[in-house]
A and B are shown apart, each in its own frame.
Chain A
């Protein structure tokens, strides 16, 4: 059974940093691309960042580019996102997500974590 368990959320002040982790199990972690998706309170889904299986390619939404860094440790089956210069508008539930992929393309998110809440407020 695929499980994705996020941790690291909490209350931080504007300008501060935070690192989220996602412990994965139930699948061969190193062979799958992963993403972070967030949802502000009462709002829709926003894709934040993605990373391929070996960590060699990373992608970011314009809203977080230069402030967030996605990474993975395949020896620990863990996905990370390091968030710097946090703003009030980064307040959201952050979901860890496994991508559904063929050998050449990814085309959906087939598993989601339960989410971890990040609140940026003074």
Chain B
């Protein structure tokens, strides 16, 4: 199975900051990576697919990059609505696997 490792697990930050979250795959997944945002008590929301494609309706301050085994999610100028937990997921092979999550919290 492909293991997905996210870092950091928690990020304390402020409104207006630039945030970068990293996701590493245990083997190459080409560009088959998605990023999700989840708020407490809610279902996850798709942000990015195929490593760098922005889902419709998602603000342009979110961006994704990377390929093979290393990927990043970047949020430029963090907004109050962005405090949440973020997950990566690989879609290269079954079983599909998620990263452990990164909680973005208010400093």
Contact = CB atoms under 8 A, between A and B. Distances in A.
A113 B101 contact: no
A103 to B, nearest CB: 15
Given A112-B43, A112-B44, A115-B43, A107 B91 contact: yes
Interface string A35-48: 10000000011110
B97 interface: yes
Contacts of A109: 34, 36, 44, 46, 89
Contacts of B98: 44-47
Contacts of A112: 43-45
Interface string B20-56: 0000000000001010101000011110011000010
Interface residues of A, number: 22
* Contact residues of A: prevailing secondary structure: strand
Nearest to B45: A112
A115 B41 CA distance: 10
Interface in A86-120: 95, 100, 105-110, 112-115
B43 A95 contact: yes
Contacts of B106: none
A33 to B, nearest CB: 11
Given A45-B44, A114-B43, A108 B96 contact: no
B83 interface: no
Contacts of A27: none
Interface of B: 1, 32, 34, 36, 38, 43-46, 49-50, 55, 87, 89, 91, 94-101
